[in-house]
Structure 1
Amino acid sequence: MTTTNPVLYLFASAAPPTLDIAKVIKDAQSRNFDVCLGLTPTAARWLEPQLSELARLTDHPVRSEYKMPGEPDVWPKADVIAFAPATFNTVNSWALGLTHDFVVGVVAEGIGKRIPIIAMPCVNSAYVQHRQFERSAAELRAMGVQLLYGEGGFVPNQPGQGRPKEFPWRLVLDAAAAATRT
């Protein structure tokens, strides 16, 4: 399976900005990425009515589960991985190496494979008060993940005051594009 465009694994957790993922895929494709979409199981459930259309849009199956042993890989190899939005649970699971979700397993392994990884959390200000979140963010950065969080990235909102339409997807795709140029 070969492609002439850089391959972007676009991964998303179940947070409200995920509902706009089709627009993000189109934006990534306009930047000449070959996009493969991976979702946490809950995000896949949220998007279930759109999954066949998303697969058609990317020309790749949408994945949310590990493949069975012996099954062939259905995606080309990633040039870059973008994980956004990454929820509180996803960030902590990833940093701790808890790979129960397919997408978390891929990014955990991607660190060891030295695949450039960009991640942007989507968490509210109450969640970030939990001490583990900052430890997890620091741990991911120490492992080489470009975490777009805080100044110049995602800034948490107050609980119940999210603005999913304002999620800074452009920053994620800009960073992915930059990673493929280096």
Structure 2
Amino acid sequence: MSEAPVLYLIVCAAPPAQRIGELAELLAADGWRVCLIATPIAATWLHRDELAAQTGHPVRADWRRPGDPEPHPPADAVAVVPATFNTLNKWAAGASDTLALGILNEMLGAGPPIHVFPRVNAALAAHPAYRPNLRRLREAGVVVHDGDVLRSPDEMTPSRWAAVVDAIRQARSRG
């Protein structure tokens, strides 16, 4: 029997991040080995030790030192949940000033399926850079999902997380 596929779950600093353990649990139940990578601010919101115990992998937010072993197995797929305005725009521009962005840029070139679930408020979504940058990511092969999937944390019901799991499951079945 082969090992379960690996999903890099990139977590940005938006309210749903505070409940990312629920999503990681559902993804694991769906057959994924989940490796969490957080933006620097999101990392301060997470219970990293608990999430590491839950997933069996360290929650990464910092670059590893040269010569240090890679703490995560290679990714079969990537999901950015929640994806913020800042991360999406910097990623589309090719910035790699955080580990999360560095991994996203590398994965874009490596070819695994990448799913993005934005959590961007209406004012930021109206910014002139936002839509062209989403288009640029789509043209590069990223699947950008409807931002309404992720609402405020009090609305992060199991059915909303299930929509994320279903979308990611479709990536696995195509792979």
Please report the TM-score for the alignment, with normalisation by the length of structure 1: 0.89
Instruction: Tell me the percent identity.
Output: 38
Other structure's SS at 2:148 match: coil
CA deviations 1:52-108 (Å, max 9, x no partner) are 111000000110011111111111111100001011000000000011111111111
2:9 corresponds to which residue? Answer: 10
Number of aligned residue pairs: 170
CA distance in 2, matches of 1:95, 1:112: 13
Q: In the TM superposition, what are the counterparts of 1:84-163 in structure 2 within 5 Å?
A: 84-148=81-145, 153-155=146-148, 163=152
1:171 corresponds in structure 2 to 163
Q: Is the 8 A contact 1:85 1:120 kept in 2?
A: yes
Q: Distance in 2 between matches of 1:142 and 1:181?
A: 22
Deviation at 1:156, TM superposition (A): 9.2
Q: Distance in 1 between matches of 2:163 and 2:96?
A: 26
Whole-Å Cα distance in 2 between the matches of residues 124 and 107 of structure 1?
22
Of the candidates 75, 82, 105, which is equivalent to residue 79 of structure 2? 82
- How do 1:31-70 and structure 2 match up within 5 A? 31-47=30-46, 50-70=47-67
CA contact (8 A) 1:8 1:34 kept: yes
* Residue 24 of structure 2: aligned partner: 25
Contact 1:10 1:81 in 2 (8 A): yes
The one-letter code sitting in structure 1 at the alignment partner of 2:121 is: N
Match of 2:69 among 63, 69, 72: 72
CA distance in 2 between counterparts of 1:169 and 1:132 reads 28
Cα offset, 1:181, TM superposition: 1.3
Partner of 1:180: 172
Q: What is the DSSP-based 3-state SS (H/G/I as helix, E as strand, rest coil) of the residue aligned with 1:123?
A: coil
User: Could you say what secondary structure the match of 1:126 adopts?
Assistant: helix
> Which whole-Å CA distance do the structure 1 matches of 2:161 and 2:10 have between them?
12
- Segments of structure 1 that go 5 or more residues without pairing to the other structure are none
Encode CA deviations 1:1-60: one digit per residue, 9 max, x unaligned.
xx710111111100000000111111001101111011000000112xx11111000000
